[in-house]
Structure 1
Amino acid sequence: MLGLGAGAAAAVSLAGCGGPAGSDGSTPGGGSRTGTGDRPAAPKPTATVRPIGDGSTSFTGRQPRQPEPPVPLEPGQAPPQFVVFSWDGAGEVGNGLFPRFLDLAREHGASMTFFLSGLYLLPESKKRLYDPPNNPRGASDIGYLTDEHIKDTLRNLRRAWLEGHEIGTHFNGHFCAGPGSVGTWTPGQWRSEIEQAKSFVKEWRTHSGWTDVEPLPFDYDKELTGGRTPCLLGQDRLLPTARELGWRYDASSPGGRQVWPSRKQGVWDLPLQQIPFPGRSFEVLSMDYNMLANQSLHSTDAPAHHHPGWRRQSTQAYVSGFQRAYETNRAPFFVGNHFEQWNGGIYMDAVEEALKHIARERERGGDVRIVSFRQFCDWLDAQKPEMLDRLRTLDVGEEPSGGWQAFTRDLAGVASTGAAGPA
């Protein structure tokens, strides 16, 4: 079987976040049953919930289950090992994967980032409200969800935020090929896409007519501070818009290395990373679909006799990526996923086993923190620029010379690159 290197794997389509769709956005058997109706009345305020707009979202106070405010590393101190698990699409489509990983995170005290596709909150009957750049109105390369799946997604998003997780964006139509690909969009078109994604979250009650569904417990204008583009395309022309909107990070860059990050165009660049791929001479990106692409040449339903070996290989890839960072330069470790049952669900099993392995290292006393991207940015922003500059001098798999105490104690002679500040 031919192996795709990390760079090739990064370029493939990451479709499949919600099932196949036609070019007009239709989903076989997945039509919405929502009527057009009048705009529903916004819910009344309560002592703990203040509705925003039409009541699709609400202000409920400070987000629960957040870590203590970060402090700068002291001279001679080793950095924590940060790990971020993130999910593209973040829709619940009846396979139980969203609550499965919420349960896993709660069991192990982990926070995650869920990159919500805005269309997952828009009923298919209202699909013409979506005007995608360079594509027909209402088109989408991922499917619209049924009404019940939209409600399931809302329920899990509500739970996720209340349990301390971050809700980012995966934008909307997931266009990865042809003249309408997100890789061709201008900064202005990215702004349109983002504003539409936000509107589908902030106005799901108006679009659906539902009055018996609880609001999301956050202000999405304040909650949204970063995202990941479809197929990891278009970052360069997204970043000017992201910076103008005050975003703190972008997680779209493919082919990143396990080193300490810097800012790109003023925004923290937090890429998927190349990690060891056991039994192969090349590395693979730290995402489930890229494991699949290298194992079964993009087939999502390969013969079952391959599954046990591929599950072990995928699990060990994640574990090897974590261990390489943890035992050497302590660069943050980023993992990307989809709520999918590709190849019998082996990639979901691999992610679960990897998270459990990482949690065990923390339980043994290691300073390991499983956080969201936003929480990691909080830590980065609290650090002294010269300390981050020192950490960036460590290459992939490179241990600090003389140990962490010596490496971070004496920062004299380390010229600031300015990468920690606005670029």
Structure 2
Amino acid sequence: MIIESAEVIVTSPGRNFVTLRVVTDDGLTGLGDATLNGRELAVAAYLRDHVVPLLAGRDAHAIEDTWQTLYRSAYWRRGPVTMTALAAVDVALWDLKAQRAGLPLYQLLGGASRTGLLAYGHASGRDRSELFDSIRHHRERGFAAVRIQTAVPGITRQYGIAAQAGAGSRYDYEPARRTARPAEEDWDTRAYLRHLPGVIEAVRAEFGPELPLLHDVHHRLTPIQAARLGRELEPYDLFWLEDCTPAENQEALRLVRSHTTTPLAIGEVFNSIVDYQHLIAEQLIDYVRSSVTHAGGITGLRRILDYAGMYQIKSGMHGPTDVSPVGMAAALHLGLAIHNFGIQEYMPHAEVTGEVFDTSFTFADGLLHPGERPGLGVTLDVAAAAKFAYEPAYLPLARLRDGTVHDW
């Protein structure tokens, strides 16, 4: 099975996606997700100008050799652009191999380790009443776990609160705005730390002890602030506290861990096993948040998760709508196969996205399943994709009350 051609398709059905489409000499087509939210064209150019010319004539079965070739021959290793491009090639080759075998991809990864993947949805609100309504809505849709994001009094524009983004916004699904410059949001750490524990307490009192609750700090706190928050939330039995502090400083997680038993999830901005080296070996986290799309594909992320499994650390793969249906399908196949699966983030794509990407994965009774089609189970309609032109979009930035740029 020889690679005959490869092309990069940029389309924007509801939001921008970058897809690598690889065709073999026996007529099979494999897909890989190359979407890097807010910097999509950087990956598209990397693929078109530097990777695609290397693919024609290669054995499509030689996944490991191709992975190592693209990783090592570039010399400039790792980083989000490189690893997202590499992931797209890797996933497309796994898609091809599974199609050629006539099997859903998870079967080539060792077969199913479970009947489905526990998924969590994203509930938010400007006040407790609105938040409670959002939680009820998600439970009615079948979610058995929910992430809780709440507005903070005095902060008018804040990450994760759909209603604060304005009429007609899909902010709960897509924070990147189609504007000439990044939108600016507000942040006040002390107000947040005062407000959040009471909200989580109220949610737990309203919905009981069984519902898994998650919360995303989104890199906003210093290590000592994160330690304080984790400790204050211990009585409410969070499933996890996500990205409590920027994890590039791995020393920070030692301090947090020493002060709280609240489970910690880290890594949606990480893209290689090197990023996790000390966090996993020292058991400073409980869940790995990287996505297949941004961590070197199935080959790259499985290495991370196998390493994590040695320390009883589980998967919590990133799954927002800036991971395309191709990337989501890859995550589901991997999650179904690995032993140390934890939970899967799931944000359903806009209906219009389905005009371009046809998928076989399902969501029922709180569980996701990749389906039984050969390969990933995703097809891309090239003609439909051409109808949705790329539109520049930027993720927001946050400023403190005095105007200082803060972590978003």
TM-score normalised to the size of structure 1? 0.34
TM-score normalised to the size of structure 2? 0.35
- Considering fraction of residues, name the structure with more strand: 2
